[in-house]
Each structure stands twice: as C-alpha cells, then as structure tokens.
A and B are shown apart, each in its own frame.
Chain A
Amino acid sequence: MLIVNTETIPGKSVVELKGLVQGNTVRAKNIGRDIAAGFKNMVGGELKGYTELLTESRREALSRMAAQAEALGANAVVNVRFSTSAITSGASEMMAYGTAVVVQ
C-alpha cells in the first residue's frame, strides 16, 4: 500500500478512483502521564508522553485508513490529510483521510 500526500505518484499513473477513505482514533495517556505533564509545565521541556500519543494516533489512523482502502480494492492512497480535535483532558482524536486509487 502506497500512501502519499501528493496528488500523483512518480512513475505510476492513477487508473481507477475508489473514493474517499478515512481512519480515526481517540487515544489518551494514563493519568500518571497527565500529572507528569503538569509538573513539566513548571520547568519547561518536551512532553514526551504527548509526543508519543500523537505518533501512536497518527500510525493507528493511517493503518485504519489503509485497511479501508484495501477493502475497496485500492493499492494506493493519495492526497492524505490529517486533522485533530481535543475530546477532553489529555485525549485527542486523530483523523487521517485520503483518496483511495488503483495505480499502475
């Protein structure tokens, strides 16, 4: 499965459009991480727990999107975009969407 956020893939041409596919996930870190983040806010520095949260969410959303594209019989997803929204304290929704296509 080829996943890109450009409209074209070099050396390949889009032969069939399969439509919009998307994947989303809502993830939260445990309360310990949230408390640690609160303390970290006194001295500054990277909030590694939240960075991990975003990386994991992104991977999960992408794999769900890829699964949906595969179910439609596509072999690539082009023009992928991400969007996020906050649900509640320390939790976020990550959504990935793109166009499933067949390329040759």
Chain B
Amino acid sequence: MDDQIGEIGLTIGLYIGLPALFLGIGWFIGYLSESRHEKSLRKREEALKDVEVTDMRNPPGFSDSAGACTLVSGEAVIASDAFKTWVFGLKNVVGGESKTFTRLFGRARREALLRMKAQAKDLGCNAICSVRIDGADIGGNASGVRGKRGSNMAIVMASGTAWRR
C-alpha cells in the first residue's frame, strides 16, 4: 500500500514537478536576462542618441549633403524563455494582447536598430534615412515547440542609408 502511494506520488511529482521546475528556471533566468538587456539597451540608446533615424526616403538636407552614404544594417534574434512561452500558450486560449511577447519583440527591434546605429557611427555618419524594419523566418524546430514553427523567437532586421547631416 505504501509502495503504491509512493509510486503515485513520484508520478505526480514527475508530471507536475518537472515542468514546474523548468518553468521556474525559465522565469528566473529569463527575468534576469530581460532586465539586464533592457538596462543595456537604455545605456546604448543614450550613447547613440545623436544619430538621427528616419524612415523618410528624402529627409530635409539629404539631397544637399556631401557626406559618405552607404547601406547599414542590424539584426537581432532573441529567444523567449519557457515561462513566457507557457504564458503565451495560455493567452492564446483566451485571446488578447500578450504583453510578454510584445516586450520581447520590442527588445529585439531596439537591439536591431541600435546595431544599425552603431554601424553608422563607426562609419562616421550621424544620420540614417530610409530605414526599413523587417521580420525574418529562420524556421524549424530549433525554436523548441514541436509543430509551431519559429513561434517563440523574435527576429528583427533593420536596414537604412547612413549619411552625414
């Protein structure tokens, strides 16, 4: 009798405890890495704020500028964690905005834009025009969720033309 109860306990423990442990680890490390990333984003955005970014194709002053002008780009692929993916799964049932994924994609976009700005600054430019922001599909089960292709990583690519104001 005691053996049976022990066995049932172990089964329940494995089926509930193990996923809960993964979720817990995911939540903890995911939370730490997200706040660290947001802090670093704010710092670098402050350092690169003199680079003027616009998606206009012909911003004021562009056609008379004599400075070098070339294509710059930035990419970022940020993974979701187990907890965010689980919360998103729940949200998918009831519908509505998924704040965790909105924030994840926001981070990826800011990172890609920052890398583009850093590239422009390295080239000695202080403005970027005609900026385009695209998503991409790397695809496959590398994303971890079987049957849901690429649904839990944020991929953002930014490109634009760097010039001197």
**Chain B interface bracket (under 10, 10 to 19, 20 to 34, 35 or more):** 35 or more
Task: Output the nearest chain A residue to B134 by Cβ-Cβ distance.
Answer: A82
Q: How far is the CB of A70 from chain B (nearest CB, A)?
A: 16
Residue A38 interfacial (CB < 8 Å):
yes
Q: Known: A5-B132, A44-B84, A46-B79. Is A86-B139 also a contact (CB below 8 A)? A: yes
Whether A42 and B149, one on each chain, are in contact in the complex, defined by CB atoms closer than 8 angstroms, is no
Whether A41 and B81, one on each chain, are in contact in the complex, defined by CB atoms closer than 8 angstroms, is yes
What are the residues of chain A within 8 A of B57 when measuring CB–CB?
A: 6-7
Of B65, B73, B77, B85, the residue contacting A47 (CB under 8 A) is: B77
Residue A43 interfacial (CB < 8 Å):
yes
Interface residues of B (CB under 8 A from A): 22, 25-26, 29-30, 33-34, 37, 57-58, 62-67, 69-71, 73, 75-82, 84-85, 111, 129-130, 132, 134, 136-144, 149-150, 152-153, 155, 157, 159-161, 163
What are the residues of chain A within 8 A of B33 when measuring CB–CB?
A: 43-45
Complex CA distance for A82 and B62, rounded to whole angstroms:
23
What are the residues of chain A within 8 A of B70 when measuring CB–CB?
A: 2-4
Q: Known: A8-B63, A47-B78, A54-B75. Is A42-B22 also a contact (CB below 8 A)? A: yes
Whether A2 and B82, one on each chain, are in contact in the complex, defined by CB atoms closer than 8 angstroms, is no
Whether A4 and B80, one on each chain, are in contact in the complex, defined by CB atoms closer than 8 angstroms, is no
Of A41, A83, A94, the residue contacting B82 (CB under 8 A) is: A41
Complex CA distance for A91 and B142, rounded to whole angstroms:
10
Q: How far is the CB of A20 from chain B (nearest CB, A)?
A: 17
What are the residues of chain A within 8 A of B149 when measuring CB–CB?
A: 86
Complex CA distance for A88 and B31, rounded to whole angstroms:
31
Number of A interface residues, CB 8 Å? 43
Q: Known: A41-B153, A44-B29. Is A88-B64 also a contact (CB below 8 A)? A: no
Task: Output the nearest chain B residue to A4 by Cβ-Cβ distance.
Answer: B161
Q: Known: A4-B161, A89-B139. Is A42-B155 also a contact (CB below 8 A)? A: no
What are the residues of chain B within 8 A of A90 when measuring CB–CB?
A: 138-140, 142
Q: Known: A89-B140, A91-B140. Is A46-B130 also a contact (CB below 8 A)? A: no
What are the residues of chain B within 8 A of A48 when measuring CB–CB?
A: 77
Q: Known: A8-B63, A89-B142. Is A51-B71 also a contact (CB below 8 A)? A: no
